[in-house]
Amino acid sequence: MSQQAASNIEQHFGDLPDPRSGENISHPLINIITISLCAVLCGADGWVDVEQFGEAKQSWFEEFLYMPHGIPSHDTIGRVFRLLDPTEFETRFRDWTQHMCELLNGEVVAVDGKQLRRSKDGVLGADGIYMVNVWATENQLSLAQAKVESHTNEITAIPVLLRLLEIENAVITIDAIGCQTNIVEVISDQDADYVIAAKGNQGTLLQDIQTAFDLSQPHHEVAYHQTVNKGHGRIEIRQCWAIDDPDIIAYINDYKSWENLTCIVKVTSERRLLDTGKIETDTRYFISSLEADAQQLLHAVRAHWQVENSLHWVLDMAFHEDDSRVRKDHAPENFAVMRQFALNLIKQDDSLDVGIKAKRKRAGWDQRYLIQLLCQI
């Protein structure tokens, strides 16, 4: 079984270009990749952790890896990941994920960015890196991630990332920073739909949508749906209105520049705190290529936040991503890929009814469970 797990890793990462050159390479690249992936699955959060894990499991690794020089030092491991091409590494991750995950028709795919806060190094003058992540809400998988290049923002990274994915028939959700005509065009060109938050600095778009909803009453049909949820000491009421009347859509200035724009959406969230009686309200507006199905649109808007709750929050709480001091060269980006690789493997396992952090501990304690996770690759 250990050999099968190793073969799975070899199949996906065996052709990864080695950034090192010369004749004095003591540790094959696939050994470093295999040990590091296993270590991160089992709770390692840095290169010293990876080395310590490797030494503790050396006899097991020697069953299926050729290791004439034993376990590489943490300096060697860190140096390799500093030099490793992050695009090549992420490509292997993305190919494995898409092989494992077939997007469902109409599945919400959330796109959002996250900063690795401790990757900032004031001494070296390095800004903290910012990653754009793509999360499949039904499959509960991270599909891909890409680093936002220095002195740019998510606007440049999102189109590049979406072009690499097979997103046909999916519903792409993005917050207001993704409200760009070129991003909408990329989504439409791949035969996907979108629900994107309208932003105030995109011409008069937001103002036009707000006015369109005011003008629609009571002369035009407006789709409506409401949900009410009670729990954790509060009541949450969410209401959604959607309009796909061509006459109303035409009111939006330059609406033709937004490819496949079919519908405008208004969502109001009201939170009532039961202990204090305090009421908090929030209203947001969206553009969409979907028809005016208020129930589907409200689901898409709510599902978008899974990228925060099921991915970003978990990476911070279970993988300590924001506390990671892996900073140099390509290492922060490559370690981020390994964290998401480990998260995907754990998310797909339903044999234990415990949290992500507990599953990482179990993988470290129980070699059979670790192999079980690895055999999903």
pLDDT tier at 117 (50, 70, 90 boundaries)?
low
Rounded to an integer, what distance in angstroms lies between the CA atom of residue 71 and that of residue 369? 22
**pLDDT tens column, 352-363:** 999 999 999 999
Count Cα neighbours of 163 within 13 Å in the Cβ-side half-sphere.
Answer: 9
Exposure of 99 by Cβ count < 10 A (0-12 exposed, 13-18 middle, 19+ buried)? exposed
Q: What value does the CA radius of gyration of the chain take, rounded to a whole number of Å?
A: 23
**pLDDT tens column, 68-82:** 999 999 999 999 999
Q: Give the phi and the psi of residue 361 in degrees, each rounded to 5.
A: -65, -45
**pLDDT tens column, 231-264:** 878 899 999 999 998 888 888 877 888 999 999 9
Domain ranges of the chain: 2-93+326-374, 195-295
**pLDDT tens column, 295-320:** 999 999 999 999 999 999 999 999 98
Strands 193-197 and 263-273: unpaired
Q: Is 232 left (phi over 0), alpha (psi -120 to 50) or beta?
A: left
First and final CA of the chain: distance in angstroms?
A: 13
Model confidence at 152: pLDDT above 80: no
Query: Contact at 8 Å (CB) between 198 and 173?
Result: no
Assigned token pair, 206: 């937001």
pTM here is: 0.90
